[in-house]
Structure 1
Amino acid sequence: MNFITILLTAVGLSMDAFAVSLTIGLDVDKDKQKKAALMSGVYFGGFQALMPVIGYLLGVKFTKYIESVDHWIAFVLLAVIGVNMIREALSGDDDKEEMPADYLNHKKFVMLAIATSIDALAVGVSFAFLSVNIISSAVTIGITTFLFSVAAVVIGKKIGEIIKNKAEILGGVILIIIGIKILLEHIIK
């Protein structure tokens, strides 16, 4: 995988964190906006960087058994993740209703960060099958998510809920397109 593909994967993965951070931005008081933006960036970016590494380490153990179908596994994982993101965005569920009222504490941020980074674990497994450099990929994913999360809190404070579902849909579409690209790269050689 080249850097552009990794970066697009990072953007796709960061959309859940973006949507949650946007919701945080909607709720946060002006005097707590900087703290909320920093906490969103650190927690979401940190977990988005950590989860692919964990997935990668799990995937490496099984690579020799499934190398002949690794591109199909990557495609299916990314497609399922992408479709789920799109389905959740179109379902009309309001993340704001699920968010605890006092979410600016570490325990609740950890729960939100885990919830938004589960997809990155599956992507890490697919990276193992594709022999991707996991360290540079995880750093790219973490930094991208950090930046998107910080920006989302600021944007959420300014423009409201208009973008939230569209961001998740865009993230899902990006992941599906990357899955198709991986599949086609291996089938058409």
Structure 2
Amino acid sequence: MGEWMTLLFMSVALGMDAFSIGLGMGMLSLRIRQIMKIGMTIGIFHMLMPLAGMTLGKQISVHFGGIAAIIGGILLVILGVTMIRSSFSSDDEPFVQPIGIGLFVFALSASLDSFSVGLSLGIYGAKTWLTITMFGLMSMVLTWAGLIMGKKVQKWLGSYGEAFGGCILLAFGVKILFPF
């Protein structure tokens, strides 16, 4: 029971990252079908990344944990800056779209921290299937919540919604790169 509760809290913490990123990305004009697809993709990445981390576990945890966080932070800063820049251009289409390669980059940036957690859990010897299932489901649900909330906020903010979403992603990336 103690391990289950620990994994539940960890999955909520990792899912809150996905929620925050989803809130920013939700400022784009997304359809419900896109929101569902994004949430499922993030959920899958939040299963694959800790699985890879747990598999590698003891071998590279000391060296790679910090690098994964730095890469995730850099990707979020890039996404945030491009969203802000795109919001001030005359083009109606945002620069970053969570489709195709953009969805891959979005999901990767949201789930890199779960790779680091997976490394730690691999050393600890956590139950693999329980861990990745909880991480995947929680991040999927919280991503959906963030995207839907962002979509609602975008209606209130109008054309400034994408810039605001970019600011959220930028701030989150900076927070990862420079923890206070």
TM-score normalised per structure 2: 0.66
2 CA distance for matches of 1:84 and 1:109? 14
Q: Which residue matches 1:66?
A: 60
Q: Which residue matches 2:18?
A: 10
1 CA distance for matches of 2:83 and 2:98? 21
Amino acid paired to 1:61: T
Question: Alignment partner of 2:14: what SS?
Answer: helix
Q: Which residue matches 1:146?
A: 144
Aligned residues: 160
TM-score normalised per structure 1: 0.64
CA distance change for structure 1 residues 140 and 91 in 2, over 3 Å: closer, same or farther?
same
Q: Is 1:130 equivalent to 2:120 in the alignment?
A: yes
CA distance change for structure 1 residues 12 and 148 in 2, over 3 Å: closer, same or farther?
closer
Amino acid paired to 1:81: L
Question: Alignment partner of 2:26: what SS?
Answer: helix
Q: Which residue matches 2:109?
A: 119
Q: Which residue matches 2:72?
A: 78
Q: Is the 8 A contact 1:8 1:174 kept in 2?
A: no
Q: Deviations over 1:15-51 (max 9, x none)?
A: 46413xx323xxxxxxxxxxx33x1331111111111
Amino acid paired to 1:143: V
Q: CA deviation at 1:13?
A: 3.1
Unpaired runs of 5+ residues, structure 2, are 1-5
Q: CA deviation at 1:96?
A: 4.4
Q: Is the 8 A contact 1:40 1:150 kept in 2?
A: no
Q: CA deviation at 1:159?
A: 3.8
Q: Which residue matches 1:57?
A: 51
Give the RMSD, CA atoms, in angstroms: 3.4
Q: Which residue matches 2:3?
A: none
Q: Deviations over 1:67-105 (max 9, x none)?
A: 223442243133222322333234336684268xxxxxx
1 CA distance for matches of 2:108 and 2:69? 17
Amino acid paired to 1:152: G
2 CA distance for matches of 1:61 and 1:179? 25
Percent of pairs with identical residues = 12
CA distance change for structure 1 residues 157 and 167 in 2, over 3 Å: closer, same or farther?
closer
Q: Which residue matches 1:30?
A: none
Pairing partner for 1:97 from 63, 87, 93: 93
Q: CA deviation at 1:146?
A: 0.8
Q: Is the 8 A contact 1:81 1:175 kept in 2?
A: yes
Q: CA deviation at 1:9?
A: 1.3
Q: CA deviation at 1:143?
A: 1.0
